[in-house]
Structure 1
Amino acid sequence: MSTTTATPPFRADIVGSFLRPAALAEARAQHAAGDLSDDALRAVEDAAVEALVQQQAENGLQVATDGEFRRSWWHFDFFGLLDGVEIVELDHGIQFQGVQTRPRGIEITGPIRFPADHPFLAHFRALRDAAARTGATPKFTIPAPTVLDFRLEPDHIDPATYSGRDAIIDDLVTTYRDALAAFYNAGARYLQFDDTAWAYLCSDAELAKARERGIDTEGIAERYATLLNRILEGKPDDLIVTTHVCRGNFRSTWISSGGYEPIAEQLLGNTAYDGYFLEYDSERAGGFEPLRFLPAGDKIVELGLITTKSGELEDADDIRPRIEEASSFAPLEQLALSPQCGFASTEEGNTLTEDEQWAKIRSVVDISRSVWG
């Protein structure tokens, strides 16, 4: 069995985001202050992405992302550029363990649509071209539609457009189908839906908060599986769509605790994803038993055993037995290895250095070779 696979997801893969280089962070701050033009910022971003793609190849990856270098948030930037969706100021942020994000939220102001000129398409094309120069497969990440639903605050849906939360679903399906088609036409063959909602369904505390926001949590996993399958049905066979189930990633802290058992049958067994990036870097994720719901076939689970929340490098002799343990519940040929999350889900980034970040990437590659190579 080889670590080198012709199609993604790869034996050694990545979730998506990377720490922002100092020059990029400075340029974005200058742009936000009105001291740098759009074109000048784009030039800095282009150079940073080009360098990042090269670094990924030099560190042994077959895949390349743009590190989400052109984004402030992993999700709000995409949502806020959809027609009918605005990012608004709230009186509270998202509460992590001991820290809270900036107070932003989603508001539905009109019919939800994916615009033909969504800026993320240009972002993908730049990544595509940079990846072509290294021979890597470009991977592009967008937030899952379930996140939009799960993050909607009460009374943040225009009643003149939609009668309530359930009424947005058909347009949400159309929006994401249109997005998949647009990225595919731009050359994308590897996309990822980043998703915190499924992780929250593993947590009684987060489910209680969801009910306070007016979400009916009874049967919600089945509803989310149906939503995703409606979007994924009919996608081209050569378009790989995976998901990353995130337990929260902001300045090295987290939100959700709880094993995957409550969602595993629906998520692994009943959704049409081609692969799953699951966080397994701490005891908060529970055991590997839920992997028994992974159907036999081509679907891949990326075991997120390498944490991005600290710079301490894991011992390969500790990771390999965990992969072996996971293979008791799902075939080894349907497993792979990745970091547990991105290194910078927001532009602030996690609390580790760039050198530590790349050491983690090399470790993923080396361990994968030792297990599957």
Structure 2
Amino acid sequence: MSETASSAGVRTVPPFRADHVGSLLRPPALRAARERHAAGELDEAGLRAAEDAAITDVVALQEAAGLRSATDGEFRRTSWHMDFIYRLGGVSQTSGRVRVAMRNASGRTDFTSAGMVVDDRVRLAEPIFTSAFDYLSTQVTTATPKLTIPSPSMVYARGGRSAISAEVYPDVEGFWTDLSAAYADELRAVYDRGCRYLQLDDTALAYLNDPAHRARLAESGDDPASQHLRYIRQINAAIADRPSDLAVTTHMCRGNYRSSWAAEGGYDHVAEALFGELAVDGFFCEFDDERSGGFEPLRFVPAGKQVVLGLVTTKTGTLEDPDVLKRRIDDAARYVPLEQLCLSPQCGFSSTVEGNELTADDQRRKLELIVSVAEDVWGR
């Protein structure tokens, strides 16, 4: 996409100078409605009304903070990725449990969810999240409505080759071809509903920077030295025919569940191919602490691509010092020109319905801080 910008560096196309990843803390009333719905005490219409009311409020929150993009906070989802993946044709939920080892400041914790299997040809059985986007579009007044979905990589990374039926796909190439085609259909469907800002969330690429995760990948029979090339190739195939006015970004973090993470390490292992070959308009990168590594991998970012620096943590409520953020932006600008940089939180505030360990006021202050610092650095 071509950028329209003033001499001060203000961006009027996504990603914006002050942006955010997407998920936001679910308000208590919405969580209570979900619990009542799960218990059979609230019908679908009642749950939808509670979601609608919460989304109306959270869109207003984002616009009041000064953000130029707004999401629905992922308020209609339990999980940032599985609510989408289970709706793909050919993917079924299983009764088995998948455990992901996580870490936080206090030690180790685990995230578990239902498993999945690819038991038929992958396809877009019906457009996914389009009704949610429709409602979001009616609520924004000043912001661009942004839709977030998991990247194609996540469908494979969730279960690996063992979760893909060998009878349906004796050659895994057929799976990848069908998967990218399903995503291309989804892009067309959401574009036709008015979406002009789409984000592909992808932990798989970031996890590959962690030697422990690469070792586990090798144990499962994949090649950890080249898996990121496969992911890049399939994302590119999915977005290759997108309309020129559909901005597509990707967000790459190392896990986010109740203020915990699953992987560590800088972007070095994937950086050259990732930044040089992935055909998105912008990269949301996690840089909030030591486990995220330094800015050196950004030297591979080509001209014309934006990097959204995730410098503001969503793992705690502690508010960052704006001067420290500005110095870190200056540090990143040693590797990428300042006009190619933006600012955001390092991840969502609530990748799952449980949310991270901070308050709604903490969340609001962090969003306002991002806008304030971005205006100081790049102008209003």
Whole-Å Cα distance in 2 between the matches of residues 336 and 103 of structure 1?
33
Aligned to 1:106: 116
| Alignment-mate amino acid for residue 244 of structure 2 | D
Q: CA deviation at 1:106?
A: 2.2
| Residue in structure 2 matched with residue 130 of structure 1 by the alignment | 139
Partner residue of 1:48 out of 39, 48, 54 = 54
Matched residue SS, 2:182: helix
Q: Secondary structure at the match of 1:96?
A: strand
Following the alignment from structure 2 to structure 1, what is the Cα–Cα distance between the partners of residues 232 and 80?
22
Distance 1:3 1:341 in 2: 24
C-alpha separation in 2, matches of 1:52 and 1:225: 33
CA positional deviation for 1:4: 3.8
TM-score, structure 2 normalization: 0.94
Say which is worse superposed, 150-159 or 44-53, in terms of deviation. Answer: 150-159
Distance 2:192 2:35 in 1: 33
Q: 2:247 aligned with 1:240, yes or no?
A: yes
Partner of 1:84: 90
- Alignment identity in percent? 47
Deviation, structure 1 residue 226: 1.3
Residue number in structure 1 paired with 2:367: 361
Give yes or no for contact 1:139–1:188 (8 Å, CA) kept in 2.
yes
Post-superposition Cα deviations, 1:220-265, rounded to whole Å, max 9, x if no partner, equal: 2222221111112121110000000011000001011111111111
Task: Please give the residue correspondences for 1:233-312 in structure 2 after superposition, counting only pairs within 5 Å.
Answer: 233-297=240-304, 299-312=305-318
The DSSP-based 3-state class of the residue aligned with 2:109 is coil
Counterpart secondary structure, 1:93: strand
- Cα distance change on mapping 1:108 and 1:143 into 2, 3 Å: same
CA RMSD, Structure 1 to Structure 2 (Å): 1.3
Quote the Cα distance in structure 2 between the aligned partners of 1:234 and 1:224. Answer: 17
Measured against aligned partners, the alpha-carbon deviations of 1:157-199 in whole angstroms (never above 9, x if no partner) come to: 2233111544310100110000100000010000000000111
Aligned residue identity for 2:130:
L
Query: After superposition, what is the alpha-carbon deviation per residue over 1:59-105, rounded to whole angstroms, capped at 9, x for unaligned?
Result: 11111000000000000000001111122233442111111112322
Q: Does the CA contact (< 8 Å) of 1:121 and 1:183 recur in 2?
A: yes
Q: In 1, Cα distance between the equivalents of 2:282 and 2:127? A: 28
1:36 paired to 2:39:
no
Structure 2: unaligned runs, 5 residues or longer: 1-6
Determine if contact 2:23/2:74 at 8 Å carries over to the other structure. yes
Q: 2:66 aligns with which of 55, 60, 65?
A: 60
* 4+ long deviations beyond 6 Å: none
Q: Deviations over 1:251-299 (max 9, x none)?
A: 00101111111111111111101000000001111111111111012x1
Q: Per the alignment, do residues 92 and 152 of structure 1 end up closer, same or farther by CA in structure 2, a change over 3 Å counting?
A: closer
What is the rounded CA distance, in whole Å, between the counterparts of 1:112 and 1:96 in structure 2?
A: 30
Any unmatched runs of 5+ in structure 1? none
Count of residues in Structure 1 that have an aligned counterpart in Structure 2 = 369
Matching residue of 2:4: none
Q: Choose from 230, 236, 259 the match for 2:237.
A: 230
Give the letter for the 2:109 counterpart: V
Letter of the 2:83 partner, please give it.
Answer: D
Letter in 1 for 2:310: G
> Under a length normalisation based on structure 1, what TM-score does the superposition of the two structures give?
0.96
